[in-house]
């Protein structure tokens, strides 16, 4: 027990030391566009809304208004985390980093009224004019949210119960809050939020007829291939490792791209997905990338080293890197298996460059032989 605690303490001190000597590490997102990295559970303009702690790793100002990347941590709740609503100008996306939550989407013009039980690695999207809501089920749940365009964090600041800073970087305060404590938890509150592009849909009742994690019961989830629509504007879900996969071995390493949002479904405003990367061989040259638009990486598993502006940092699980467009960068895995979540502004992100030299693939793991 003491050894484990000592190792944890040393790891934390190492991260703090790196942050103290690095111009890339920040504790809160910059107010202008620049390269930066920010640690998991950093201050990140953290705010409490009921039982939920929101941290903003990429904001409107730090992304030039293109997207917001946030983390939501909370204990389980017997009530909805937010009352049902739509956005008329914002796409909202949900990724389960850990724990469990239920997510509902409804859009009558495309015949969608669905729900999913979300577990680690699952993804769901609510395009513009989609009614949506969620409920957190497990006592240590974390959602990663991507909202396009950026600046949506202003809503959370407006309804906040107060900014929070935890010296030990705990994900959320271990205490019990009212089940009704959530973002827009009262009908009077949520109907006053239209200035933030939140329009209450109080007549919507989330369906509870889940079978094997899905509603309707016949929906494909963790039991078969999940497809991504070929048109925009339709809500959809992608179960962990059940979506499309493409493998690239062009740079002496394996990289598996799993798109969640394509240029089409993101309406050419953004793309999103995950990339799994194998260890960097000593004899392989790390490629240098320079993308047109801004990109963010958040580590899901393993450790990723990243060079920007002649400075190299190593990111662990949950850490976020923001890479402005027209910035040269390199990345490589520090272990045998690293996976990270990507968000790219526009329609020509890192995944497009990789998929240009990739083939279809059926597995979340790479081959047993070297690339």
**Catalytic annotation present for 92:** yes
Annotated catalytic residue, options 87, 91, 294, 341: 87
**Catalytic annotation present for 87:** yes
| Nearest Cα residue to 366 out of 358, 111, 283 | 358
Tokens 């962990």 identify what position?
Answer: 240
Neighbours of 98 (CB within 10 A): 18
Q: Which residues contact 258 (CB under 8 A, 6 or more apart)?
A: 241, 243, 244, 245, 246, 273, 274, 275, 276, 364
**Which SS3 state, helix, strand or coil, does residue 354 take?**
helix
| Nearest Cα residue to 254 out of 134, 100, 361, 152 | 361
Structure tokens at 158: 């407006």
Annotated catalytic residue, options 85, 90, 91, 341: 85
Q: Count the residues in the chain.
A: 371
DSSP letters spanning 157-206: HHH-S-B---TT--SS-SS---TT-SBT-SHHHHTT-GGGT-EE-TT---
User: Do residues 346 and 270 make contact, with C-beta atoms less than 8 angstroms apart?
Assistant: yes
Phi and psi, residue 141, nearest 5°: -110, 140
**Catalytic annotation present for 132:** yes
Annotated catalytic residue, options 91, 132, 294, 341: 132
Specify the DSSP class assigned to residue 247: E
Annotated catalytic residue, options 40, 45, 90, 92: 92
Structure tokens at 127: 């395009």
Structure tokens at 315: 């990111």
Structure tokens at 369: 């032989």
Q: What's the N-to-C CA distance of the chain in angstroms?
A: 41
Instruction: List the alpha helices (DSSP H) in 126-248.
Output: 153-159, 187-190
Phi and psi, residue 13, nearest 5°: -65, -35
User: Do residues 118 and 96 make contact, with C-beta atoms less than 8 angstroms apart?
Assistant: yes
**Angle at Cα 299 formed by Cα 297 and Cα 303, nearest 5°?**
120
Phi and psi, residue 169, nearest 5°: 60, 35
Q: Which residues are catalytic?
A: 85, 87, 92, 132
């Amino acid at each position: 027990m003491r050894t484990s605690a000592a190792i944890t303490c040393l790891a934390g001190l190492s991260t703090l030391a790196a942050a103290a000597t690095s111009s890339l590490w920040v504790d809160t997102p910059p107010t202008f566009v620049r390269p930066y990295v920010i640690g998991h559970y950093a201050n990140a303009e953290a705010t409490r809304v009921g039982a939920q702690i929101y941290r903003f790793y990429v904001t409107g100002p730090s992304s030039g208004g293109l997207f917001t990347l946030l983390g939501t941590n909370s204990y389980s709740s017997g009530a909805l985390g937010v009352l049902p609503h739509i956005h008329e100008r914002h796409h909202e996306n949900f990724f389960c980093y850990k724990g469990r939550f239920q997510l509902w989407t409804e859009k009558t013009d495309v015949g969608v009224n669905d729900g999913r039980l979300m577990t680690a690695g699952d993804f769901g999207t609510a395009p513009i004019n989609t009614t949506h809501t969620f409920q957190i089920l497990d006592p240590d749940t974390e959602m990663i949210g991507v909202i396009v365009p950026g600046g949506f964090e202003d809503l959370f600041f407006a309804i906040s119960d107060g900014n929070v800073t935890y010296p030990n970087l705990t994900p959320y305060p271990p205490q019990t809050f009212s089940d009704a404590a959530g973002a827009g938890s009262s009908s009077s509150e949520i109907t006053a939020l239209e200035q933030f592009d939140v329009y209450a849909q109080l007549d919507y009742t989330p369906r509870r007829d889940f079978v094997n994690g899905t509603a309707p019961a016949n929906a494909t989830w963790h039991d078969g291939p999940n497809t991504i629509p070929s048109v925009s504007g339709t809500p959809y879900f992608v179960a962990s490792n059940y979506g499309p996969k493409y493998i690239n071995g062009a740079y002496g390493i394996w990289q598996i791209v799993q798109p969640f949002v394509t240029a089409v479904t993101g309406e050419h405003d953004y793309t999103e997905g995950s990339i799994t990367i194998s260890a960097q061989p000593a004899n392989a040259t790390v490629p240098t990338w320079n993308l047109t638009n801004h990109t963010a990486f958040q580590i899901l598993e393993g450790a990723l080293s990243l060079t920007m502006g002649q400075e190299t940092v190593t990111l662990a699980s949950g850490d976020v890197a923001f890479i402005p467009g027209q910035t040269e960068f390199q990345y490589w895995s520090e272990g045998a298996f690293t996976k990270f979540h990507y968000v790219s502004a526009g329609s020509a992100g890192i995944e497009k460059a990789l998929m240009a030299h990739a083939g279809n693939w059926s597995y979340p793991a790479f081959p047993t032989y070297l690339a």
